[in-house]
Structure 1
Amino acid sequence: MPAFTVSAAAQVSEAPVASAREAADATPPDVSFASAPAERARRRPPADPLAALRAPDDPPWDVYLTGPVFLDIVFTGLDSAPVRGTESWARGMGSSPGGVANMATALARLGLRTSLAAAFGDDHYGDYCRDALARGEGIDLTPSRTVPGWHSPVTVSMAYEGERTMVSHGHEAPPEEPGPRYPPRARAAVASLTPGARDPWIARAAAAGTRVFADVGWDDTGAWDLTGLPDLAHCEAFLPNAEEAMRYTGTDCPRAAAHALTGHVPLAVVTLGADGAYAVDRRTGETAEVPAIEVEALDPTGAGDVFVAGFVTGTLAGWPLADRLAFAGLTAALSVQEFGGSLSAPGWSEVAAWWREVRSLTGQEPAALRRYAFLADLLPDETDRPWPLRRAVPTIGFREPQ
């Protein structure tokens, strides 16, 4: 199946703040961008991919996750890398919650009821991140905590010449009060596994019936030993990239690695970068491979989180494996056409606008469109928004009326 080539305009995040406001559904100037998404949500309810499956005795949350939240500040439109001893001016900037907030936002924008456990500083940055996630995205922060006297971790990202440079600063949050942590009841949880470490909440969640989806970071120890991921035994699915999968399994082919991983976890999904993704379900014997959608990538920050969020959404909704892979790849492709992590996570309106645009293109083979035909029965009725869409570029400092 040929990949679609639909590129977003590169000037999306180059606009000054005034233009960004105009692009954000005509958000009034006296409403902060952190609260603007909540205002829009009240006017236009998001699609619920699990609506047909919901029952009175369901868990209160679709997905639970935990991890550190950063304040991300993104500078765009730099002509070149900053030079020592000089001052560089960026044509655009934005700020948003980052870290685990990228994943939480991606899940919430796809209509999943999302609960997040994180530590927030009691500084203005912490307040901003809380407001953006709770009021802006509708994410439940009940399991989260505010740490007095602890400042929020910060990442500054600079985009130039098709690359990005990031500088981060922060300190590990003080430990929680002693005692076991029990995650809230949820259909699913997303866990980031750490080589050589065990996180007790994962086993507790799995024992309570929560389906755990796991990814993993680079193994700095160089061991690449699956026995060093003890929590994998409690997981429903494992979603490493090709290099990680091959190193953990000692194979030289990512597809062979996916099959080998099913000896340790029921469902293995290996992302192949520009080649798409490959998945194997041990329980059903099903395999699937979907090529990537070709787009003009501006910033890959958070794309992996968006991919996982799309795959979790399709899995909870009971879609066929190939449709889940295709949807995950599509949402990730949409996200890289914008700057920032949580800023770029697409919702159903973005997916609907993309689908409408693709169907309007001339010269497309019917077989190419058939891969995404399942979207037709899922998308909201809204059909009058332009594509590519321009997101508001939030920045700290706007105040609501007193």
Structure 2
Amino acid sequence: MPAKVVVVGSLNMDLVTRAQRLPRAGETLHGESFATVSGGKGANQAVASARLGAQVSMIGCVGEDAYGEQLRAALQAEQIDCQALTSVEGSSGVALIVVDDNSQNAIVIVAGANGLLTPDVVAGFDTVLMAADVIICQLEVPMQTVGYVLTRGRELGKTVILNPAPATSPLPADWYSSIDYLIPNESEASALSGLPVDSLESAELAASRLIAAGAGKVIITLGPQGSLFASGQSVEHFPAPKVKAVDTTAAGDTFVGGFAAALASGKSEAEAIRFGQVAAALSVTRAGAQPSIPSLSDVQAFKAS
């Protein structure tokens, strides 16, 4: 029986246009291409967990619009359980993205239905949380909802993962004791710890501060430098697999989803971290967010080679 991972989080339709450069204030440019791509950190992590071997349920909200139908269909195509995906009045979440020829971008996110994922909505699907082995949250839905899920996950004795993204300030102090694995990237670890994170040494200091705040264990993802794992008793650096990067979109989400799927399937922490790293490395060799996320067979083939 595949492992059970429940993702509580965001779903966005990414509206992506490419232009030679980013527009200046008041300027109109001719775009070179346009695409609509299913995204949102919650949905990305759910897709990653599903493709990488887990049985997955998604708790979230979409609008009663065409994008909501497409976002739901994209998850269902990955065999993700959508019984707890609620349709609400208004628009689905969207991300308006302009990418220039140098791969620099400008992004405007409209929360839409994601802002209506309240604690009461989540509480209505408590049986879904109860069936989980691992619960994953991010920060693209209301903070009070994230806090509720962390607390409820701890009450139920589940393994709780928080990917604190996007993070611009410290987390509420009472959250930490409910987090088994806190997984920020460098900038998020810096925002949460108040320390600069630009090397392995500084990442170790930041991780120590976050564990002192009450987090169970911390994994700081460091891009091409790999990741740093801190448990309070020990610290270990995991180098990243060497690949030629094309697009880093959703690499962090792929790592989180892969780590959760591997951990829930019974792999050790070290095995789960290495598994997540291979999945993330493969994702950066492909363009796009969800389209770049590899399958379990992709990871197995890479490891075998």
Q: TM-score, normalised by structure 1?
A: 0.63
> Is 2:211 the counterpart of 1:262?
yes
Residue 189 of structure 1 aligns with which residue?
A: 135
Q: How is 1:88-107 mapped onto 2 (pairs within 5 angstroms)?
A: 88-90=31-33, 93=35, 95-107=37-49
* 3-state SS, counterpart of residue 296 of structure 1: coil
Is 2:259 the partner of 1:311?
yes
Number of the residue aligned with 2:161: 213
Structure 2 residue matching 1:258: 3-state secondary structure: helix
- The Cα of 1:180 is off from its aligned counterpart by 7.2
Instruction: Return the alpha-carbon distance in structure 2 between the equivalents of residues 199 and 250 of structure 1.
Output: 21
Match 2:226 to one of 251, 276, 285: 276
CA spacing shift, 1:174–1:314, aligned 2, 3 Å: closer
Specify every segment of 5 or more residues in structure 1 that has no aligned partner in the other structure, as ranges: 1-50, 55-60, 360-402
Q: Does 1:85 align with 2:46?
A: no
Contact 2:5/2:261 (8 A) holds in 1: no
Structure 1 or 2: larger helix share? 2
Query: Which of 220, 237, 244 is 1:289 aligned to?
Result: 237
Q: CA deviation at 1:288?
A: 2.3
Matched, 1:327 2:269: no
Compute the RMSD of aligned alpha carbons: 3.0
CA contact under 8 A between 1:303 and 1:332: conserved in structure 2?
yes
> Which structure is richer in relative contact order (CA contacts within 8 A, separation 6 or more)?
1
Inter-CA distance 191–168: structure 2 relative to 1 (3 Å threshold): closer
Count of aligned residue pairs for this structure pair = 289
Give the counterpart letter for 1:273 in structure 2.
G
Percent identity of paired positions between Structure 1 and Structure 2: 26
Worse-superposed segment, 210-219 or 316-325: 316-325
Gaps of 5+ in 2: 197-201
In 1, Cα distance between equivalents of 2:95 and 2:121:
31
Q: AA paired with 1:188?
A: V
Per the alignment, residue 151 of structure 1 pairs with 91
Report the Cα offset of residue 130 of structure 1: 0.9
**Superimposed CA distance per residue, residues 161-181 of structure 1 (whole angstroms, 9 cap, x where no aligned partner):** 232333434535546695871
Q: Is the 8 A contact 1:293 1:330 kept in 2?
A: yes
2:6 counterpart of 1:64: yes
Taking structure 1 as reference, are residues 304 and 209 closer, same or farther at Cα in structure 2, changes over 3 Å only?
Answer: same
Conserved 8 A contact 2:13-2:36:
no
**1:139 partner letter:** I
Report the 3-state secondary structure (helix = DSSP H, G, I; strand = E; otherwise coil) of the residue aligned with 2:150.
helix
Largest Rg, 1 or 2: 1
* Counterpart amino acid of residue 189 in structure 1: I
Instruction: Measure the CA separation in 1 of the matches of 2:195 and 2:107.
Output: 32
Q: C-alpha separation between the residues in 2 aligned to 1:296 and 1:101? A: 26
Identify if the C-alpha distance between structure 1 residues 204 and 86 changes in structure 2 by more than 3 Å, giving closer, same or farther: closer
* Cα offsets for 1:20-78 (capped at 9, x unmatched): xxxxxxxxxxxxxxxxxxxxxxxxxxxxxxx5xx7xxxxxx6111222211123345x5
| Aligned twin of 1:397 | none
Cα distance in structure 2, aligned partners of 1:165 and 1:294: 28
Distance 1:104 1:94 in 2: 19
Distance (whole Å) between structure 2 residues aligned to residue 179 and residue 151 of structure 1: 17
Q: Which residue of 1 aligns with 2:175?
A: 231
Counterpart of 1:158, as a letter, is V
Q: What's the offset of the Cα at 1:101?
A: 0.9
